[in-house]
Amino acid sequence: MVQNGEKLFATPALNIFLKENFTELSFRKNSNLLTDYASLDDYDVFTSIKVWSKHDDFILSRLSNGLVERQLYKIKIQRHAFDESDIKLLKLKAENTFGVSADEADYFVFTKSIANNAYNLQEENINILFKDNTIKDIANASDNLSLSLLAKPVVKNILCVDRELIT
């Protein structure tokens, strides 16, 4: 919104980062940017969110009010992908319930995939300290442990839905 020229309340520390999408290169070129980022804290963010909860923009105010009132998304996590027809029905319900467009319904119903590796063989070592004060890498310390199982990423799918849409 701010990048599209709309005035939006924000603390000075937060406003800098709302006005522009900075990249790593931006921080490397402008050392003041890191100082500005370091001055940003949760009070800047939450103060702005509290003000936004009363904003005229329905989506901004609804999402902000949800944070202020601790009415967060209902989240479901599962291994297999969510049924597309169920997602479409929830988005249609969001359109009808909130009077928003199909694109805007994506703020109230969305899916993501997450992956987690318990152990990264290339980047991490898990060391075990034995009673005799020797230290061994877990790969060498156990005959029973299969590190390939720990290194295999676990992928799960997440469905986030505005609580008002769940009946």
Q: Is residue 3 part of a domain?
A: yes
User: 103-140 pLDDT, tens per residue?
Assistant: 999 999 999 999 887 767 677 777 888 899 999 877 67
Its domain, for residue 37, covers 1-72
Count of domains forming the chain:
1
Domain assignment present for 37: yes
User: Which pLDDT value is given to residue 4?
Assistant: 84
Predicted local confidence at residue 91, as pLDDT: 98
- CA neighbours within 13 Å on the CB side: how many for 118? 9
Nearest to 16 by CA among 101, 26, 132: 26
* 150 part of a folded domain: no
| Whole-angstrom distance, CA of residue 14 vs CA of residue 124 | 35
**25 domain residue, yes or no:** yes
R_g over Cα of the chain: 23
- Other Cβ atoms closer than 10 A to 82: 14
SS in 3 state form for the chain? CHHHCCCCCCCHHHHHHHHCCCCHHHHHHCHHHHHHHHHCCHHHHHHHHHHHCCCCCHHHHHHHHHHHCCCCCEEEEECCCCCHHHHHHHHHHHHHHHCCCCCHHHHCEEEEEEEECCCCCCCCCCEEECCCCCEEEHHHHCCCCCHHHHHCCEEEEEEEECHHHCC
Q: How many CB atoms lie within 10 A of CB 43?
A: 11
Domain contains 84: no
Kindly state whether residue 106 falls inside one of the protein's structural domains.
no
pLDDT digits (tens, 9 = 90+) for 148-166: 666 778 899 999 999 999 9
Look up the CATH number of the domain holding residue 32.
1.20.1250.30
pLDDT of residue 148: 65
Structure tokens at 80: 């297999």
Residue 77 is assigned to a structural domain of this protein: no
Task: With respect to residue 4, please indicate whether it lies within any of the assigned structural domains.
Answer: yes
Taking 90 as the threshold, does the pLDDT of residue 73 lie above it?
yes
Whole-prediction pTM = 0.76
